[in-house]
Amino acid sequence: MRRDELAELIRNGESSGVDFKRDDIRPEKLAKEMAALLNLEGGHVLLGVEDDGSVSGLTRAVEKAEEWVMEVARTHVRPPIIPFWETTSWDGDKTVGVVTLPADAPDKPYKMKRASAWVTQVRVGTTSRDASDEEEARLYMQSGRLPYDRKPVPGATLRDLDRRRLANYFRSFRGQDCPDVSDDDGWSLLLVNTELMAEDRGRAVPSVGGLLLFGERPNKFLPHAGISATAYPRRDKDYAAKERTNLRGPLVSLFPVRPDARFEPAIAMVRTFSEPPAVEEAGVIEQAMDFVRRNIAVEAEVEGGQRQEHWDYPLDAVREGVVNAVAHRDYTIAGIDVDVSIYSDRIEIISPGRLPNTVTVEKMRAGYRASRNELVKEVLRDYRYIEGTGLGVPRKIVQGMRVHNGTDPDLIEEETRFVVRLWKGPKGGD
């Protein structure tokens, strides 16, 4: 937020959409204001501004203040939220923290934690208070059914999306024209119509799915977007890992396009993934596969006059596990990446959150189709990462592992995560 914009907010005083607070208040007080604003039309909480409009500034270090705000939003507001956080300098030696809450939040009513209870809050003028039974009932009626990956991300703008990847996607994978790279209005219209952006407080901003798929730096707004990848030398976790890295960026890669082959990337993606596809810039999915290739063994031999490579694991099965993890994870669980761990005897792919909707492990093995993040899933299907039939798990993971080495993969739903475990050989072997 620019200083002149902040100055105008402060000059206009507290309102139904703006609240002034010090940053040494109790977490419950901040949660109360956030929940109340979300239940109305969103707005801003200005931290470091007194009730009379004078600026005292943050008392915490900027990094600590951001951590505190995000922790309050995650643990003291239900459903958990990810507000947009930014800071603005004031009179040289002071800093104001700006917490922005989106308009038209779909998961009403929002509640704040009070002791062991969760209490719905409403905003009335410049004050926030407990909702009456009638007010809470109206909020339930207003509640939308907007999936999380279609929600707007406050603070993000069109500039936070990679137009090269977007043009690559629309032209090469969807086979449709798209605006010139400099046409902001044209891009905003196209992306709103395809739900990669969403209307928020009268402006078009990227959706969660838009940022995950095509963001320049998705982690700027969604810190838990990405994959933590580790290769261990033995069967257990070890500080002396062979390689440990955090994979960041948009989910999809930037693919090269030949001028005479409009659908060349899409055609290339249909084939088997035993070798990496040609990419100009790797997205998180391809980064994960590159990590796996670096850390598992491959043997090459000549069969029928052709060179054949035999990896420790079928790469199609690994890719299916990675794609499912980033496509179907619960992105409302903050602070936890998808985890890909390679051990001497297995690969584990761990996705935060339980299985979505009515999905069970048995249904997955049978090819049941359901999705938590429909927008992300549909775009990844355009890239041929996901099968439209829903048979990726039974064909690529279950059958793929049985054909490869006769093992049965473990598909395990736990309380807060889902685990896919691929075995290098018989369980317990090396």
Decide if 238 is inside a domain. Answer: yes
When mean pLDDT is compared across 90-99, 102-111, 399-408, the lowest value belongs to 102-111
Which is more confidently placed, 262 or 426?
426
Residues 257 and 378 in one domain: yes
Please say if the pLDDT value at position 303 is more than 80: no
* Residue 315 contacts residue 289 (beta carbons within 8 Å): yes
Is the bond into 79 cis (omega within 30 degrees of 0)? yes
Residues 28 and 132 in one domain: yes
Supply the pLDDT for residue 236: 92
- Tell me the per-residue pLDDT of 330-353, one tens digit each, with 9 for 90 and over: 888 878 999 999 999 999 999 998
- Region of 195 (left: φ > 0; alpha: ψ -120 to 50; beta: rest) is left
- Tell me the per-residue pLDDT of 350-396, one tens digit each, with 9 for 90 and over: 999 888 767 888 988 888 877 789 999 999 999 999 987 678 899 99
Please say if the pLDDT value at position 273 is more than 70: no
Mean pLDDT of 255-278: 57
Please say if the pLDDT value at position 264 is more than 70: no
* Total of domains in the chain: 3
Supply the pLDDT for residue 199: 86
Q: Which of 113, 144, 175 is the last residue of a domain?
A: 144
Residues 361 and 252 in one domain: yes
Supply the pLDDT for residue 396: 94
Decide if 149 is inside a domain. Answer: no
Please say if the pLDDT value at position 270 is more than 50: no
Residues 281 and 304 in one domain: yes
Domain span at residue 208 reads: 158-214
Any residues with CB less than 8 A from the CB of 420 and at least 6 apart, and which? 321, 324, 325, 348, 349, 350, 351, 397, 409, 410, 411
Residues 109 and 28 in one domain: yes
Decide if 219 is inside a domain. Answer: no
Decide if 397 is inside a domain. Answer: yes
Residues 234 and 192 in one domain: no
Residue in 30, 22, 63, 46 with CA at minimum distance from that of residue 98: 46
Supply the pLDDT for residue 144: 62
Decide if 428 is inside a domain. Answer: no
DSSP β-bridge partners for residue 119 = 112
- The structure's pTM equals 0.71
Decide if 429 is inside a domain. Answer: no
Decide if 177 is inside a domain. Answer: yes
- Tell me the per-residue pLDDT of 11-29, one tens digit each, with 9 for 90 and over: 999 999 999 999 999 999 9
Which CATH number does the domain housing residue 286 bear? 3.30.565.60
State both tokens at 147.
Answer: 């999936």
Decide if 9 is inside a domain. Answer: yes
Supply the pLDDT for residue 267: 45
Residues 118 and 249 in one domain: no
Residue in 19, 44, 49, 30 with CA at minimum distance from that of residue 126: 19
Supply the pLDDT for residue 300: 78
Residues 170 and 33 in one domain: no
Supply the pLDDT for residue 259: 56
Residues 269 and 354 in one domain: yes
pLDDT > 70: what percent of the chain?
A: 92
- Tell me the per-residue pLDDT of 100-111, one tens digit each, with 9 for 90 and over: 999 878 789 999
Supply the pLDDT for residue 415: 81
When mean pLDDT is compared across 60-74, 182-196, 258-272, 302-316, the lowest value belongs to 258-272
pLDDT > 90: what percent of the chain?
A: 70
Q: Which of 173, 190, 214 is the last residue of a domain?
A: 214
Residues 67 and 118 in one domain: yes
Residues 106 and 208 in one domain: no
Helix/strand/coil (H/E/C) assignment for every residue in the chain: CCHHHHHHHHHHCCCCCEEEECCCCCHHHHHHHHHHHHHCCCEEEEECECCCCCECCCCCCHHHHHHHHHHHHHHCEECCCCCEEEEEEECCCEEEEEEEECCCCCCCCCEEEECCEEEEEEEECCEEEECCHHHHHHHHHHCCCCCHHHCECCCCCHHHECHHHHHHHHHHHCCCCCCCCCCHHHHHHHHHHCCCEEEECCEEEEEHHHHHHHECCHHHCCCCCCEEEEECCCCCCCCCCCEEEEECCCCCCECCCCCCCCCHHHHHHHCCCCCCCCCCECCHHHHHHHHHHHHCCEEEEEECCEEEEEECCCHHHHHHHHHHHHHHCCCCCCCCCEEEEECCCEEEEEEECCCCCCCCHHHHHHCCCCCCCHHHHHHHHHCCCCCCCCCHHHHHHHHHHHHHHCCCCEEEECCCEEEEEEECCCCCCC
Residues 124 and 165 in one domain: no
Intra-chain end-to-end CA distance of the chain, in Å: 56
Give CA–CA dist 121/31, Å, rounded: 9
Query: For the chain, what's the residue count?
Result: 430
Q: State the chain's mean pLDDT as an integer.
A: 90
Supply the pLDDT for residue 276: 67
Q: Which of 119, 144, 169 is the last residue of a domain?
A: 144
Which is more confidently placed, 243 or 333?
243
- Tell me the per-residue pLDDT of 113-140, one tens digit each, with 9 for 90 and over: 999 899 999 999 999 999 998 888 778 7
Supply the pLDDT for residue 343: 97
